[in-house]
């Protein structure tokens, strides 16, 4: 059975899938994180926090999310779940932070932003990586290229990456 995760106001934000991997999905079907024991990792391998006794804690030990039974507010009705997107390959896990003293205080950051911020970082990283590859392929003397008009096309690919086309 899938477990719904609520923010500090009782709004359903994400859910833990019953897939044997502890995958955490947003309601729009994006896999954004996963559980490894009590530790929460993003698909990029970054440590995001802890999931202890039905409460999600951020890296500072503040409560950022809850299951229905531990939520301090009345929980709202869960929306219909979209079809799950294909998950990205998990990156190598980075070393987890030393577990913070878990607090009864709530985090200032909303649960949706914790998971959503990683998705934006991931897109930004892929975009930067694409530009770096692009710039690495420009021949010497490309300084004059900046003085001439050029077109740069960026498009999202079905596999989750970004395609960049450069035309002088």
How many Cα atoms within 13 Å fall on the side-chain side of residue 57?
Answer: 19
Instruction: Write down the pTM of the prediction.
Output: 0.65
Question: What is the percent of the chain where pLDDT is above 70?
Answer: 68
Residue 119: is it exposed, middle or buried by C-beta count within 10 angstroms (0-12/13-18/19+)?
middle
Minimum mean pLDDT range among 41-45, 132-136, 148-152: 132-136
pLDDT at 97 (0 to 100): 83
């Amino acid at each position: 059975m899938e477990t719904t995760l609520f923010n500090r106001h009782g709004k359903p934000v994400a859910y833990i899938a019953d897939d044997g991997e502890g995958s955490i999905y947003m309601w729009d079907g994006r896999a954004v994180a996963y559980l490894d024991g009590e530790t929460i990792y993003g698909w990029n391998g970054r440590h995001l926090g802890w999931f202890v006794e039905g409460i999600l804690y951020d890296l500072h030990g503040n409560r950022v999310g809850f299951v229905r039974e531990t939520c301090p507010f009345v929980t709202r009705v869960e929306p219909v779940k979209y079809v799950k997107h294909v998950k990205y390959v998990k990156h190598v896990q980075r070393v987890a932070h030393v577990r913070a003293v878990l607090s009864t205080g709530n985090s200032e950051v909303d649960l949706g932003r914790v998971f959503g911020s990683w998705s934006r970082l991931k897109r930004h990283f892929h975009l930067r990586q694409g530009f770096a590859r692009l710039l690495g392929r420009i021949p010497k003397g490309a300084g004059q290229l900046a003085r001439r008009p050029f077109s740069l096309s960026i498009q999202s690919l079905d596999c989750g990456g970004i395609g960049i086309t450069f035309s002088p």
